[in-house]
Every structure is written in C-alpha cells, then in structure tokens.
Amino acid sequence: MLGIRRYHKGRENTLDIPELSRPESWPQLPVSVLKKRCYTIRKVDECVKQNYGAKYSVHPLGSSCYGADTKDSDVDLILHDPDRPCGYELPKHQSSRTPRLYNISVLAKALTQSGFDVLLRLSQATVPIVKFRDPDTGLKCDINVNERLGYRNTLMIRQYCTILPILPAFIVQLKLWAKEQKWITNMNNYTLAIMAIGVLQHYGALPNLQKGVEQRPMTENGYFWTKSKRGKLQWCDTRWNDSEEGWEPTRRVTPDECLTMWFRYWGHEHDYNGTGIDIKRGGLFQRQRPYEPEPVEVVPVDQDMKTTGRSKWVTIPSETNIYEEPPAWANHPFCIQDPFVRDKNLASQMFKPQMKVFQPSCQKAFERLELARAQTPGSVASDPKLLAKYMTTMLLAP
C-alpha cells in the first residue's frame, strides 16, 4: 500500500477527471459523489503506475461519462496501454509477448495489495475484467485492460448528449423503468442508450455522427482490433464526427416528449420483423433476412397520436451500403446493430420469451404516460422540468 493516499472528506479531492466533467444542462450529482469517484480513479491510477509503469493510465467509461448515471452507480474503468492504442495488431505484435498487465489475476493481486477489495475476476470473459471496491469511498468499479471500444463509444455517446442536453436524463429515465422489467437481464444499459439515440435520429431530433466517416483519413484513433466471443480478432472502424455537416433538427423535443415518443415507437410503430436500429445509418434499417415472429397482440393507436418519423482475421466493411448481415440475425427477433462492431447484434439475448413481454410493456408505459399527460396540472405542464419529473414519477409508479 506504499504511496496510496487515503480519502479525506473535503480535502484535496478535486474534480480533475476530464471524462467526468458535466455541462450544467446535464443531470447533476452531488459534488461529494463526484469527488469520491475522482479520488478512487486517481487511487487506481497510482496503483497501476506503481505496479506497471508511469506510461500506463486509468480512465472512466460508460454512463458516468455522459451523465446518464445516478449517485449510487458503479463506475467502469479502463487501463490504457499506450503501446497498443489500436489493440492487437499484426504483424506489429505477432512476435512480441503480451505485457503482464493483461493478466487479470496479476492485476487483481496488485489491486488487493493497494488496499482494494477484489470482488470477482472474470479472466475468461470476452472482455476480461476485475470487479473491486474501494473501502475508502465505498465505490464499486469494474476495470478492463485496453479494450478501447467501450471507451470510444462512450466518447461518441457523450457527444450526442452534448448536442441534445436532455438525452442523459432521458437515458436515466429509461434505465430506471427498465430496471423493473422482467427482460432487463437480457439487455444492458449501453443497448438502451443506443436505442434512445436511434429513435431520436429516426424522428429527426439527433444527427448521424458517423455519416461520411469513410471519406476521412484513417488515423490511430480511428480503428481498433477487438476479440470476438469465438476468439477471432476483428477490425472495427471507430471514427465519428463532432457534428453532421449541414444537419438541422427537423423536430425539437422536450424531455417528456422523448419518453412518450420512445414508448410509442417500441410499443406501436416498430416493425420487429423487418426493421432494426443502427445509429451509424441514421436510425432505422431494413433487415436483409427478416425474422418471422409469433404474433404479438398490438393495442391499436389512434392515428392522431402517431408521429411519422423519418479466417482468423475478420474485417467488417465500413461502407454500410455493401454490408452483409450475419445469417444468425435471421433467428433474432430483435435487432440493434452495434455502431462499431458491425456484425454484433446488441439485442441478440432478447429471445422469444423476452419479446413477448417487451412490446406489451412499452405499450403499457405509453398508455400510462398519455393518461398522465391528460391529467397533468396546469402549473406543472407549463414548466418543462416539473413536467419531466412528473411524467417520470407516473411512469415508475407501481
């Protein structure tokens, strides 16, 4: 535990982690929560530097970096290897030995020796991680070694949240609602965020930050080699733009409209048989191999309530117009395409039993929100913040 500082409330615990900075327009957390997070991250960074070298660094990723978290959220971390910014590349790393920091058991031991409580080691996972707790702050964290896809899609989602500042609160609302649903064990928070962005793109409220990236020069930060579940290495295009050239929103949405729009779409409008979500293509795409689902009873919606929106090495083409869907997707009743790992369906674990309750649960939520809107007191309806809070309360009511 040499050199590891102890946590002191209100002393030297500064907010100095760039990824955790929050614009005023995003949901705010208590400063004490942010200070504890910064303290723990710096403490982990010191542990890594002491055990592996000063060139390595630790960074947060996930919802804590784009404001879609709560004060009780765990924090995901990544250990950056500056020698492998693009992952495992051939022939560059073909004959070199993998550094010992990639050994999850060794990393877990280093964390233990630095005073952290190691809870779990997942060394055989597609993305190996260590789950641990900082006894000084009580903060629970997951850490992976240099799997930068999650870090890069975090930065892209953060930019979407910068463009539409109500997006973080919207994602939080979806997460709180989904937490109480039976199917949530088959879908993670990242997928919910992509679904939120995709629906808002479809309705013209968000741009496509990956549009035209193929015309940009390829740089070191523009691609990453990741490992699939089958152990194959796969090249991924991780480029995105700060904005979409010439884009203007065709629809400006309020926080309560985002909720209603999302549940109406998934409850009543989405064609689960022939359509998927892909934010790299600007929202929706037609599935090349339609899924033939069992009939699901759909509650009719009044037309006035509808809104019309607009080998070992595998290389996935970045040009979406020539992309060939994996044959396995024909067996998936729900399709949410990953913006970077192009042959990955983020909703592949949503099987028939989950889909039988997902659409009806969205229908029920939409009906509850419509009823709440009709009964909203005038003083609340005139204040966007109060209205959003009221609608969320009604959505989450037992």
Q: Tell the burial category of 322 from Cβ atoms under 10 Å away from its Cβ (0-12, 13-18, 19+).
A: exposed
Determine the Cα–Cα distance for residues 367 and 25; give it in Å rounded to an integer.
29
Rounded to an integer, the average pLDDT of 19-44 is 95
Assigned domain for 242 exists: yes
The string of pLDDT tens digits covering residues 160-192 is 999 999 999 999 999 999 998 888 888 999 999
**Could you give the percent of the chain with pLDDT greater than 90?**
62
The answer on 183 and 56 residing in a single domain is: no
Q: What angle do CA 58, 59, 64 make, to 5 degrees?
A: 145
If DSSP codes are grouped into helix, strand and coil, which group holds residue 277? strand
Determine the Cα–Cα distance for residues 176 and 322; give it in Å rounded to an integer.
38
Q: What is the dihedral of CA 169, 171, 177, 182, to 10 degrees?
A: -160
Q: Measuring CA to CA, which residue among 261, 68, 262, 260 is closest to residue 169?
A: 68
The answer on 352 and 377 residing in a single domain is: yes
The answer on 47 and 88 residing in a single domain is: yes
Determine the Cα–Cα distance for residues 245 and 236; give it in Å rounded to an integer.
23
The answer on 141 and 174 residing in a single domain is: no
Assigned domain for 372 exists: yes
Assigned domain for 365 exists: yes
Assigned domain for 229 exists: yes
Confidence at 392, pLDDT banded by 50, 70, 90:
confident
Number of neighbouring beta carbons within 10 Å of residue 265 = 23
Confidence at 291, pLDDT banded by 50, 70, 90:
low
Q: What is the residue range of 104's domain? A: 18-147
- In the chain, the number of structural domains is 2
Is the per-residue pLDDT at 10 higher than 80? no
Assigned domain for 13 exists: no
Is the per-residue pLDDT at 278 higher than 90? yes
What is the token pair recorded at 198? 């995709």
- Contact between 149 and 234 (Cβ < 8 Å): no
Assigned domain for 355 exists: yes
Q: Which CATH number does the domain housing residue 355 bear?
A: 1.10.1410.10
Q: Which CATH number does the domain housing residue 126 bear?
A: 3.30.460.10
Q: What pLDDT is stored for residue 312 in this prediction?
A: 34
Assigned domain for 9 exists: no
Most confidently modeled of 211-215, 295-299, 377-381?
Answer: 211-215
The answer on 123 and 214 residing in a single domain is: no
Tell me which H or E stretch contains 346.
none
Assigned domain for 6 exists: no
Q: What pLDDT is stored for residue 305 in this prediction?
A: 35
The string of pLDDT tens digits covering residues 210-232 is 999 988 778 778 899 988 777 78
Is the per-residue pLDDT at 264 higher than 60? yes
